[in-house]
Chain A
Amino acid sequence: MVTASVHVTDYHAELERVENDIAELAPIAFAFPLKSETVTKYLYRLYQRVSLNGRLDELRSVESAIDRAIDQLGPAEDLCLLKANLNFKLHRLAETQRALQMAPALSNRAEGRSLLADIDFQTGRYSEAKKALESLIEEDRTWDNLARLAHMQLKMGGFEAADRLYLEAEEELTAKQMRSYAWVELQRGLSNAMCGQNEQALEHFLRADRAYSGFWLIREHIGDLRGAQGDEQAALAIYDDVLRRVRKPELLQKMGELYQKRGEPAKADCFFDEALAIYLKSAEFGEVHYYHHLVEFYATARLNPGECLKWAAMDLALRDNFATQSALAWAFYVTGHPPEAVDKITQALDSGVQDAGIFTKAALIYQAAGLHDRSHACEHKAAALNGVGGFHVHI
C-alpha cells in the first residue's frame, strides 16, 4: 500500500533521533548509581545535537554536564575525549590539551593524536601536524584523517593533492555516513571556490545537499557561493531561510554585509547589532571562538581599528597561525601601523599558505608600507589563485 507522506529531510530525521534519545536518557543519565555507558551516551547526544543545530551557546551546559560526569565517574577516556572535542570546537586549544591529559593514555590513541595534530596546525606547527596525520593515515586510512590532511594540503596550495585526499576520504564513507559524506563534499566545493571554480563548487554543494538533505550548513554554503557569484537576492533568500533555523552570528554578519553592499544601511545595522551582541555575549562568558569574527566585524562591518586590533591580538595569543597573523596584520593596517602590519603579514606568508584572501591583504599592506615589488607579487599571486574576490566568504 502506498501512503502519502510528508517529506522529512535527512537532517531533521537525524535531529529527531538525537532529540528522542536525549528525552529518553535525560531522566536517567545522572540517576544514582551512575552508569558510565548511559551518561556517556547522553552527553554525546547533547554534543551531537549542538553539532547538528549549530547553537554553540548550548555547549556551555553540555560542558557543565561533562564536568559533572567526570567529577562523579573519574576521567574516563571517552568523557575526556568528548571534553577535548568540545574545547577544540570552541577554539580553546590549551583546554583541549588539558582534557586529553586528564586520561593519560588518550594522547596516544588515534582519536587523541588526531586532535593533537589539529592543535599543531592551529598553533602554526604545520610540519608536525602533517607528519602526525601522515603517520595516522599510514596506520589506518580513516576518512576524517584523510580529510584533515586534505585541508592542510589545500591551505598550503596543494590543490590537486587535497582533492585526491578528499576523494579517498569519500571512498571510505558508506551509505551509513551520509552526513560525513556531505561534509567532505562541502570541503571539495570550498576548495573549488578558493580557486574561483564556482560552478564546480556549486556542483559539490548540491551533491552534498542530495546526500544529506535539509542541513542548514549546506544551504549556508550555497548562499555564500550565490553571493560570490553576484546573485545577492538568492544569497539573501538562502541566508534568511537558514537564519530561521539557526541564529548564527557570523551569518547575521554576512546578511548585514550584503545589505550594506546593496545600500540598505538600516537593514544592515539590524543584522550587525544582533551579530555583535552574540559575539560579545559569548566573549563575556569567557569564550574565545568568536574572536576571529570580531576581528573581521570591526575590520569590515563596522570599522573600529582599536577593537579590531584588540580582538586580533587576543586571538593570536591563543592560536598563532597564518590566519590569526594575517588578521592581526590587517588590524595593524587599518589602525595605521604599517611596520607592524608588514611584520605580521610576512610571518603569515612565510608559513607557505596559499590563500587568495591573505595575498590580497598582503598586497595592500605592502603597498601602504611602500614595498611595491612585494605588493605586486602578492597581487599577482592573489589573481593567480583566483580567489572569490568581491564578496567576503568565510572560508
Chain B
Amino acid sequence: MADHNDPNAVNSIFSDVDVSAADLYDLFGYPSDDKTGREKVVIALTFAAVPEAGILDSDLLYRIQIHASPRIAWKGGDGHTLEGLLEYVDAVKDKYLGNLKTSEIRVHVDEQQRAVVRFFDFPGAGSFSTVLETNKVHEIPTPDGHSLKVYIGGRDDAFFNDLTGFFRSINYAPQFYHVPHTMTDLHELPIPKTLLELEGNYLFNYDPAEPLLGCGVKKNLPPGPYTWSGNKFKTDENGNFRFVYSGKDAQAGKNINAIILEVPIEFLTKSPAKNRIVNTWGESWVLKAANKVEGIPDHPVLLEHPWALFESSKLDDELKKYKLVDTDGQPFADAALSERENNRQLGANNFWLAPHFIKRLAHLGWGFGPSISALGLKTSFNHDNSPVSVHKTYSLALEAFPRVAKTLFQPLNMPDNSWNPKGLHIPLRRPFEIFIPNVCAIDMDTSGTWPFGRRLEDQVATRFLSMFLDMTADFNGKKYHIDLLNDQSLWDAAPIEPKTPPNPLNNDREFLKEFPYIAEPW
C-alpha cells in the first residue's frame, strides 16, 4: 500500500524515447533496371539508423511480405459513389483477409551483428534461411536455382523532401514547439491546412528572424489560442503569396539502415507472365520483454550453414514473441492519412480505415484545395470556391465523400510515357487504389515509378500533393500530371515566393547504378 512501488516509480513518466529502430521510413519497389538474365524486382525497406548506420538493433525483427497477382482494372466505370468505393474495399478485404498466401522475408541481427535472413513460403523454393554479414552485398542461391542479391546495413537516406514544409502545411506543432507529451490534442493544431501561408498564422508562418525554427530548432509553445481567425492568405508588398514549402531537403546528410533485395520475379511467382503486380509491404516488430529474458538463440543450423531449409510452421510461434510496431507500404499512407497513430499501424490490412481515409482526405482537401485555386490552378477537391483554406473535420464519411469524390477517383496522369516502356494498355492508378490496401504494388510492366511502385528517384512528397490537382485540367497545353508541381516554369509564373517546387527534385547523394542502388552512408 505504501511501499514506494507505484508503477511510475520505475516508469518513464514522459515518453522521451529516442528515435527507434522500429521506425520504418520508406518502402521502395520497382522492376530492376538490370535487364540481364531474368526479370528482377528491387525491394528496399529503410528504417531509422539506430543505434547507428550499419549497426542494427538486435531486439528488432523486420518483415517484408510479398504477393504477386495479376493486374486488375477498376470495374466501377465512371460512377463515383461511396457504395462503389466500399464495395471495392470489401473485395480487397476479402482478398487480404481470406486465403491470400504471401511469401515473406524476415530479418533480424544477432548479438554479433550477423543478419539472420529467412525466406518463407516462396512458390518454388519453399522456406529457407541464411546468415549474412551486414553492410556487404551478397548473392545467395535459392533452393530452386535462383540467385538473390541482398544487402542489409547502413546507407544514405534515400528520401528527399522538405519535411519542415510539410509539417508547416499541416500546422504540426511538435516540429516547431515543445508540446508537452500529454497534450496529444495539440499536434495538428486546429488551423486550416494550407500550401500558402495564412495572414496572421503567427504560429507557423516563416519568420526570417528565426529561419531554423522547425528545422531542428523548437520554441516554447505559446499559451494559445491555437486557432486561426483570419480570412485570407498572406501576401507580400508585391501581392505574392508565401509558400509554406522551401524546396530544401530536410533529409540531406542523414543515414538510414536498410534491407535491400533484388530478386527474380520467377522466385516470387510460378506464373510471372500472369502475375505482373508484385505487392509488397514492410513491418517492424520489437521483442517482448519476457522473451528477452528467456533469449531466443538462433537455431545452430542457421548459423552453421550458408542456407538451410526452415519450417514455415514455426512462423507464428516466433511472432508471438514480438510486438508489431510499424508498417510501411505507401509513402504518406500513415503520415498524411492516418495521422501516425499507433493503433492505425495496420499495413496491408488497413481496410477498416476506409471511412477515415475519406474523412481525412476531405479534411486535407479543405486546406490544400483553396491554396491550389489561389495559385490559379484547378483542384480536384470541391471547396465551393472558398477564397482561403478552411479548417474542417468530418464525423461522417457520407458527408465528406461528395467533396472528395473526384480526388479519390480521378486517374492520376503521368508526365510522359516513360512509365510504360512497353506501351501496354495499363490503366492509370487512382488514389483510392493506391492507398487501400497500404501496399507498394509494383507493376512489372512499368518502370515502377510511383504510383506503379516506387523508384528511388521519385519525388513522392510532391506527387502526393498532386492528388489535389484536377487531372482533367491543362497547363501549357498539357494535362495536369503527378509531376506538375515539380515544374519550375509553373512556379516562375505563379504569384508566390519562394519560386520553387515544394520539395527538392533530387536526392542529396546520387543513387548508384548497381546494387544496392542506395548511396553509401555519410
Contact = CB atoms under 8 A, between A and B. Distances in A.
Partners in one complex: yes
Interface of A: 34-37, 40-41, 44, 47-48, 51, 56, 73-74, 76-79, 81-82, 85, 88-89, 91, 105-106, 109-112, 115, 118, 122, 143-144, 147-148, 155, 170-183, 186-187, 207, 210-211, 289, 292, 319, 321-323, 394-395
Given A40-B14, A91-B2, A174-B287, A147 B7 contact: yes
A187 B10 CA distance: 12
Interface string B354-386: 000000000000000000000000000000000
Interface of B: 1-14, 16-17, 20, 59, 178, 180-183, 218, 220-221, 223, 286-293, 323
B449 to A, nearest CB: 37
Nearest to B290: A170
A88 B4 CA distance: 9
A176 B178 contact: no
A48 B11 CA distance: 9
Contacts of B1: 122, 155, 321-323
Given A181-B290, A322-B1, A41 B8 contact: no
B16 A174 contact: no
B289 A181 contact: yes
Contact of B6 (A37, A41, A88, A180): A88
Given A44-B16, A175-B292, A322-B1, A36 B323 contact: no
A192 to B, nearest CB: 15
Contacts of A56: 4
A181 B59 CA distance: 15
B3 A394 contact: yes
A88 B8 contact: yes
Contact of B293 (A79, A171, A181): A181
B290 A171 contact: yes
A144 B323 contact: no
A211 B8 contact: no
A76 B173 CA distance: 15
A281 B220 CA distance: 39
A133 to B, nearest CB: 11
Given A35-B178, A76-B221, A173-B290, 16 more contacts: A34-B220, A78-B182, A81-B182, A89-B8, A109-B183, A122-B1, A174-B287, A175-B286, A175-B292, A178-B292, A180-B7, A180-B11, A183-B7, A211-B293, A321-B1, A322-B1
Tell me which of A109, A122, A176 has the highest count of chain B C-beta atoms within 10 A of its own C-beta.
A176
B223 A74 contact: yes
A292 B178 CA distance: 40
Contacts, number: 128
Contacts of A48: 12
Nearest to A76: B180
A186 B3 CA distance: 12
A143 B288 CA distance: 12
A176 B6 contact: no
Nearest to B285: A174
A85 B10 contact: no
Q: Which 7 A-B pairs have CB atoms at the shortest separation, nearest pair first?
A: A181-B289, A37-B178, A323-B1, A144-B7, A78-B180, A175-B59, A77-B180
B172 to A, nearest CB: 16
Nearest to A78: B180
Given A174-B289, A175-B292, A292-B2, A180 B10 contact: yes
A82 B181 CA distance: 12
Contacts of B287: 174-175
Contacts of B12: 48
Given A187-B5, A289-B4, A176 B17 contact: yes
Contacts of B6: 88-89, 118, 148
B181 A78 contact: yes
A82 B13 contact: yes
B283 to A, nearest CB: 15
Contacts of B323: 172, 174
A310 B16 CA distance: 43
B20 A176 contact: yes
A89 B323 CA distance: 31
Nearest to B14: A44
A77 B183 contact: yes
A52 to B, nearest CB: 9
A183 B291 CA distance: 16
Contacts of A115: 8
Given A106-B182, A175-B287, A183-B10, A89 B292 contact: no
Contacts of B59: 174-176
20 contacts: A35-B220, A36-B178, A37-B220, A81-B182, A88-B6, A89-B6, A106-B182, A109-B182, A109-B183, A155-B1, A171-B288, A174-B59, A175-B286, A175-B289, A176-B59, A177-B289, A178-B289, A178-B292, A181-B289, A323-B2
A87 B10 CA distance: 15
Contact of B13 (A34, A47, A147): A47
B220 A36 contact: yes
B180 A144 contact: no
B428 to A, nearest CB: 41
Contacts of A394: 3
B183 A148 contact: no
Nearest to B343: A140
B185 to A, nearest CB: 9
Given A174-B286, A178-B289, A210-B293, A85 B182 contact: no
Contact of B292 (A148, A211, A319): A211
A170 B289 contact: yes
A274 B116 CA distance: 55
Nearest to B20: A176
B378 to A, nearest CB: 42
A288 B4 CA distance: 13
A144 B221 contact: no
Contacts of B9: 51, 89, 183
A210 B289 CA distance: 11
A106 B180 CA distance: 11
A42 to B, nearest CB: 11
A292 B218 CA distance: 45
A96 to B, nearest CB: 11
A115 to B, nearest CB: 8
B286 A176 contact: yes
A148 B2 contact: no
A204 B5 CA distance: 16
Contact of A89 (B4, B16, B180, B290): B4
Nearest to A146: B7
A44 B12 CA distance: 9
A101 to B, nearest CB: 14
Contacts of A179: 10
